[in-house]
């Protein structure tokens, strides 16, 4: 997504609320401590069980990947030392770097890799497509694993280097053997930080300590690739639910980074001499509403279509983002500004039309079943969206039961098929840029993304996409998939935005990526 400079806006309620300092444990050298306020509390720490961004970002501290994606979008090796491909493209052989070790002291082996890839592919859309093309894995020695394919899979490295949402992190086999439908009990990887389980305080903080045995690659850090150098002995994810309290803590120097400031705070942030704005994810994000396809009222496709017509991007963007130059109207399910973007979206034009939606709702036989709409109260970047959606739904004739909770509770709630009708959030552009990475295009039913759409035509077209040999062919297939997703009302794209994080000016060395990665940062 093309970036444009932000314009200053007036802060609603210019005066800061009274500030009570946050008390932290004393450290011998504060320069060796980094305190970060994430965009919500990562109550689930299993990166396969949950695809929440707060889980992904916390997992990048602990786990490593076979490949990564650099700032130019190119896939590069990470845990892999070297690899080769047979002439028929059916056999891929990979050799791991020497000296890789898990935090519990066990060496990383090919058995760990294969188990991790199998678990990841059981839950991830891209991984699931790859799994259908795999004949078998082979492990000739502890550092070598082989992928035998049924047919060529030209985007195999892109799958292994997938940088966001459900990332193919590598964990010990004893943990990877846990079904993806269950949470692992430990947080153990081979990455640059160790999770300090004994210091975990739900609702307060998560603590990570430097992994002294981690050996960074020699290449410069770029995206999720290269040298993952950490310059802090201790990193804390500090949970502060109130947006104003987050701002006050940052200005007072009680925390170093706020990942997702409220949009109305940017004018004030720009006036602070000790604060800088940082684009951790410069490609931007897409707002969305996800339907529960297996529970009333949205088990009826006609009612889902009526809901799409009831919702309008302009009101969503202005209310939730509200920063001129940071918003982009876009109806494409593949973000505008990316290669597969298309304006062929049929009946969906992204404009709220209550009268048309009401007619569609009547024709669909809507019986008044309330829409259970979940609203997170502690994530400033999305907390206003459900309020707008409630108004637009009710204007079209829906009954709405707005249920408010913290983000962690929402993530837990959305795993229960009868406990909700719709929720709202955002995807990083990288996570919805093509049919293989997008959870929004996951139509595998009960094994898929929360919402559980089951649509064989979408899944078949995704297999066709893996065989496309040119961008033109990929665009043609992606456009067909988009039209099917709109027709079946998979979800609702609600526009795009780019909003930076806020950090103390004493920090430098940030690494822009498709995820919010925290290596490379220094405290001056």
CATH hierarchy code of domain 65-176: 3.90.76.10
SS3 content of the chain, % helix, strand, coil (to 5): 30, 20, 50
Domain 285-497 has CATH 3.40.228.10: no
DSSP H or E stretch at residue 121: helix 110-121
Residue pointed to by tokens 């309008």: 312
Q: What string of DSSP letters covers 219-240?
A: SPPBTTBS------SEEEEE--
Contact status, residue 390 vs residue 417, Cβ threshold 8 Å: no
- Superfamily for domain range 32-39+192-282+500-523: Periplasmic binding protein-like II (3.40.190.10)
Locus of tokens 């678990």 = 119
Cβ(482)–Cβ(334) below 8 Å: yes
pLDDT tens for the chain, 524 residues long, are 333 332 233 223 333 333 334 444 444 478 899 999 998 899 999 999 998 889 999 999 999 999 999 988 889 999 999 999 999 999 999 999 999 999 999 999 999 999 999 999 998 888 988 999 999 999 999 999 999 999 888 789 989 999 988 999 999 999 999 999 999 999 999 999 999 999 999 999 999 999 999 999 999 999 999 999 999 999 999 999 999 999 999 999 999 999 989 888 988 999 999 999 998 988 789 999 999 999 999 999 999 999 999 999 999 999 999 887 788 999 999 999 888 999 999 999 999 999 999 999 999 999 999 999 999 998 888 999 999 999 999 999 999 999 999 988 999 999 999 999 999 998 888 889 889 889 899 999 998 889 999 999 999 999 888 888 788 898 999 999 999 999 999 999 999 998 889 999 999 999 998 889 999 999 98
Q: What is the residue extent of each domain of the chain?
A: 32-39+192-282+500-523, 65-176, 285-497
Strands (E), 38-168: 64-65, 67-69, 75-77, 80-85, 91-96, 134-141, 144-149
């Amino acid at each position: 997504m093309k970036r444009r400079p932000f314009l200053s806006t007036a802060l609603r309620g210019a005066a800061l609320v009274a500030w009570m300092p946050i008390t932290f444990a004393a450290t011998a050298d504060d320069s060796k401590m980094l305190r970060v306020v994430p965009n919500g509390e990562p109550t689930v720490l299993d990166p396969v069980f949950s695809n929440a961004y707060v889980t992904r970002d916390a997992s990048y501290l602990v786990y490593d990947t076979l490949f990564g994606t650099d700032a130019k979008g190119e896939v590069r090796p990470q845990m892999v030392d070297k690899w080769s491909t047979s002439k028929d493209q059916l056999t891929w052989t990979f050799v791991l770097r020497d000296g890789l070790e898990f935090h519990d002291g066990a060496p990383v082996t090919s058995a760990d890799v294969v188990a991790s890839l199998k678990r990841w592919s059981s839950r991830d859309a891209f991984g699931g497509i790859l799994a259908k093309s795999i004949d078998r894995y082979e492990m000739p020695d502890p550092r070598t694993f082989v992928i035998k394919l049924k047919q060529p899979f030209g985007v195999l490295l892109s799958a292994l280097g997938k940088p966001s949402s459900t990332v193919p992190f590598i964990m010990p086999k004893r943990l990877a053997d846990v079904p993806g439908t269950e949470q692992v009990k430990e947080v153990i990887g081979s990455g640059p930080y160790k999770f300090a389980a004994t210091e975990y305080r739900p609702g307060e903080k998560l603590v990570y300590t430097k992994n002294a045995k981690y050996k960074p690659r020699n290449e410069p850090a770029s995206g999720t690739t290269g040298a993952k150098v950490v310059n802090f002995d201790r990193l804390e994810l500090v949970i502060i639910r109130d947006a104003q309290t987050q701002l006050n803590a940052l200005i007072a120097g009680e925390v170093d980074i706020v990942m997702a400031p409220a949009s109305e705070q940017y004018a004030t942030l720009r006036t602070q001499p000790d604060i800088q704005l940082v684009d951790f994810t410069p490609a931007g994000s897409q707002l969305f509403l996800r339907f529960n396809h297996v529970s009333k009222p949205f088990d009826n496709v006609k009612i889902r279509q009526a809901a799409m017509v009831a919702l309008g991007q302009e009101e969503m963007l202005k209310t939730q983002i509200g920063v001129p130059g940071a918003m982009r109207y876009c109806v494409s399910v593949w973000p505008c500004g990316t290669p597969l973007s298309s304006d062929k979206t049929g009946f969906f034009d992204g404009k709220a039309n209550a009268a048309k939606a009401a007619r569609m709702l009547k024709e669909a036989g809507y019986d008044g079943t309330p829409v259970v709409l979940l609203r997170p109260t502690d994530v400033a970047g999305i907390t206003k969206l459900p309020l707008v959606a409630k108004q637009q739904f009710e204007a079209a004739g829906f009954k709405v039961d707005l249920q408010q909770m913290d983000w962690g509770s929402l993530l837990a709630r959305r795993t229960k098929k009868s406990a909700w009708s719709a929720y709202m959030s955002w995807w990083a552009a990288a996570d919805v840029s093509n049919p293989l990475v997008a959870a929004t295009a996951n139509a595998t039913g009960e094994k898929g993304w929360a919402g559980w759409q089951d649509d064989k035509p979408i899944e078949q077209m995704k297999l066709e996409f893996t065989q496309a040999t040119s961008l033109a062919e990929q665009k043609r297939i992606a456009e067909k998939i988009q039209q099917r997703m709109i027709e079946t009302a998979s979800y609702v794209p609600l526009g795009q935005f780019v909003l930076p994080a806020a950090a103390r000016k004493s920090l430098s060395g940030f690494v822009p990526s498709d995820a919010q990665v925290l290596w490379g940062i220094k405290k001056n």
